[in-house]
Chain A
């Protein structure tokens, strides 16, 4: 009976997983089909061979490498700045008492309620005045605005789960706060940091709305908008486009596979309890 149940569960999970990852399989398989196979009717479940010409086309005709680099610069900067600010603020909110603290915590949470589209116009006006349009710095500032509140919220819960006795012990030994934070707290907060980093990474990597408005220079374009431009032409060229889809997904997928353990652990012990 118990054996039965285990097997049923396993069979169901296998089937469900197959359904869930089918779209990704289909992307990869389609990207490797020849042009004739791509539009074959009925659709072919497997490509007959491996045709990489779509990849070559995409790399030759667009500046995919530069666009990748742009995306990485903007995303990694956003992750770094957001994490530093969020960690410091989260540590302050989880350990220190001062006037207006609750109000501040509420304010940061409120930021979260605001639809990004709300800030689009005022930020555009501000950027137009300060020359931040068409610059990566402008994107980084905008993305940081939307990522700090969540990272802060996540890290605050995570840091709150680390016993204050550890800080106190280090303080008694004469360590300054900065040393306490750096040597004692941060090493323990790694899973929380990984979770916040992955969220921020994925959000920034995907950002489309702000980029579409703030960036006009094709040289400064990031991946989502560059692919969108390629997609919305008169005639959609599926073959290179599907290849681009694979190439864009792969890096995030790898980042995720490498960090998934810490990511899941961070979610488990931080955000969940808070």
Chain B
């Protein structure tokens, strides 16, 4: 009996070991099929129906798409999304790169500064919303007060409530939160540069700008592309901080596509339309990602 059990166990063990590569992949594949492929397919189907949150639905072809393209609020959201994404990712990258150039290598205090500068990234988004609403409030906010006392504005303003200021303000808040990740990843990239290359640049009398252009930049080009691509996807899809800080307002001055979808589905209950917008979002994102992959040759070779 025990001998037979031992055989079974050995057989099972052998089977497991022979197909280990597939077996350990299986849970993830099944999971992704269930929680991702299935919903995405459903979503695609919903976009072709007039489904609302309540009640039945029927197939209506591409009518949702036609109506969306005629909706001026959609056009506003697309423009807002692009401004938000490009503005935030661009600034995050520049600020992150600036700090990375100051902070790479080992010197006194380098590690301390890195940790201090990373802290905004650990702040929960709900607290981020809380902090900035508190700091930007028009009655007691420290920032409107400071700006006013410096003579930059004639009264204490509340930028989150102003159509012209809201998007730039949100972008700056997002940069505050997200630049640290860019910084730390770029520091990591800069530290992999072989010391000899820097030595050669120094011996040839290259200035800081030339060193950056000919030695540092080529070495961090790939990782920069990777970071920009990842951050673009994330920023484009951002919902939480925008919803919590302004919910797309005032009016639809800061409404981006994720908020537009959310409102269509949960406030207007137009599930079909929301689904159609989200399909359009995926198409826009795929195009953006494609551009990055081409420009930075992200897929060519593993190294």
> With A10-B109, A117-B237 in contact, do A39 and B140 touch (Cβ < 8 Å)?
yes
CB-contact partner of B130 in A6, A207, A242, under 8 A? A242
Pull 22 A–B residue pairs with CB atoms less than 8 Å apart, ordered by A.
A9-B102, A13-B102, A26-B131, A43-B145, A85-B31, A88-B25, A108-B28, A117-B258, A118-B43, A119-B40, A119-B43, A121-B274, A144-B35, A176-B13, A177-B17, A208-B243, A208-B244, A224-B124, A238-B134, A253-B119, A260-B118, A264-B188
Closest 5 pairs (CB-CB, A-B): A96-B21, A122-B39, A88-B24, A268-B188, A177-B20
What is the minimal beta-carbon distance from A83 to any residue of chain B, in angstroms? 12
Max chain B C-beta neighbours (<10 A), residue from A27, A244, A269: A27
* Cβ–Cβ < 8 Å partners of B254 in chain A: none
Q: A44: shortest Cβ distance to chain B, in Å?
A: 10
Report the minimum CB–CB distance from A112 to chain B (whole Å).
6
Minimum C-beta distance from A110 to chain B (A): 9
Chain A: interface size category: 35 or more
Would B40 and A24 count as touching, CB distance under 8 A?
no
Q: Is A170 an interface residue (CB 8 A)?
A: no
Inter-chain contact A142/B142, CB cutoff 8 Å:
no
Interface SS of B by simple majority: helix
Say whether A160 faces chain B, with CB atoms less than 8 Å apart.
yes
* Cβ-defined contact, A27 with B134, below 8 A: yes
A145 to B46, CA, bound (A): 21
Q: Please tell me if the beta carbons of A249 and B25 are within 8 angstroms of each other in the complex.
A: no
Contact yes or no, B282 A115, CB < 8 A: yes
B246 smallest CB distance to A (angstroms)? 13
Q: Are A95 and B21 in contact (CB under 8 A)?
A: yes
Query: Residues of B contacting A86 with CB < 8 Å?
Result: 28
Q: Which residues of B contact A27 (CB under 8 A)?
A: 127, 130-131, 134
Within 8 A of A (CB), among B254-269: 257-258, 261-262, 265-266
In addition to A42-B145, A115-B278, 5 A-B residue pairs with Cβ atoms within 8 Å of each other are: A145-B31, A224-B126, A248-B127, A256-B118, A273-B303
**How far is B99's CA from A181's CA once the two chains are assembled, in angstroms?**
38
Verify A208–B134 contact, CB threshold 8 A. no
Complex CA distance for A159 and B218, rounded to whole angstroms: 25
Instruction: Tell me the A127-169 residues at the B interface (CB within 8 Å).
Output: 141-142, 144-145, 148-149, 152, 160
Residues of B within 8 A of A6 (CB): 107
In contact, B281 and A118 (Cβ under 8 angstroms): yes
A12 to B237, CA, bound (A): 34
B9 to chain A, nearest CB (A): 12
Rounded to whole angstroms, the CA-CA distance of A88 and B21 in the bound complex is 9
In the docked arrangement, what's the CA distance between A113 and B289, Å? 9
Q: Do A117 and B278 have beta carbons less than 8 Å apart?
A: yes
- Residues of B near A238 (CB, < 8 A) are 134
Task: State whether the Cβ of A274 lies closer than 8 Å to any Cβ in chain B.
Answer: yes
Kindly state whether residue B239 has any CB partner on chain A within 8 Å. Answer: yes
Residues of A within 8 A of B274 (CB): 121
Residues of B participating in the A interface, judged by any CB pair closer than 8 Å: 13, 16-17, 20-22, 24-25, 27-29, 31-32, 35-36, 38-40, 42-43, 46, 99, 102-103, 107, 109, 113-127, 129-132, 134-135, 139-142, 145, 149, 176, 184-185, 188-189, 191-192, 223, 226, 233, 236-237, 239-240, 243-244, 257-258, 261-262, 265-266, 271, 274-275, 278-279, 281-282, 285-286, 289, 302-303
B117 and A245 contacting across the interface, CB-CB below 8 Å = no
CB-based nearest B residue for A14 = B113
Majority DSSP secondary structure for residues of A touching B: helix
Residues in A neighbouring B149, C-beta threshold 8 A? 42
Cβ contact within 8 Å between A268 and B191: yes
Hey, what's the 0/1 contact readout for A257-274 against B, CB within 8 Å counting as 1?
A: 100100010011101111
Given A26-B134, A208-B126, check contact A118 B282 (CB 8 Å): yes
Nearest Cβ on chain A to B262's Cβ, whole angstroms: 6
| Interface presence of A65 (CB below 8 A) | no
Q: Which residue of A lies closest to B186 (CB)?
A: A272
* CB proximity of A177 to chain B, nearest CB, Å: 4
Cβ–Cβ < 8 Å partners of A104 in chain B: 25, 29
Known: A9-B102, A85-B28, A117-B239. A20 touches B130 (CB 8 A): no
CB contacts (< 8 Å) of B289 on chain A: these are: 113
Contact of A148 among B28, B113, B135, B188 (CB under 8 A): B28
CB <8 Å contact, B127 and A126: no
Residues of B within 8 A of A264 (CB): 114, 184, 188
Q: How far is the CB of A237 from chain B (nearest CB, A)?
A: 12
CB distance from A6 to the nearest CB of B (A): 7
Q: Contact: A223 with B126, CB < 8 Å?
A: yes
B125 / chain A contacts, CB cutoff of 8 Å: 206, 208, 224
Q: Is the CB of A23 within 8 A of B24?
A: no
Contact of A267 among B46, B185, B257 (CB under 8 A): B185
A118 and B127 contact, Cβ closer than 8 Å, known pairs A89-B24, A92-B24: no
Evaluate whether A272 and B192 lie within 8 angstroms (CB atoms) in the complex, with A208-B243, A256-B122 already known.
yes
Cross-interface CB contact of B115 among A26, A96, A260, A272, cutoff 8 Å: A260
A12-B102, A42-B145, A260-B118 known; A121+B25 contact, CB < 8 A:
no
Instruction: Out of B39, B141, B286, name the residue touching A119 (CB < 8 Å).
Output: B39
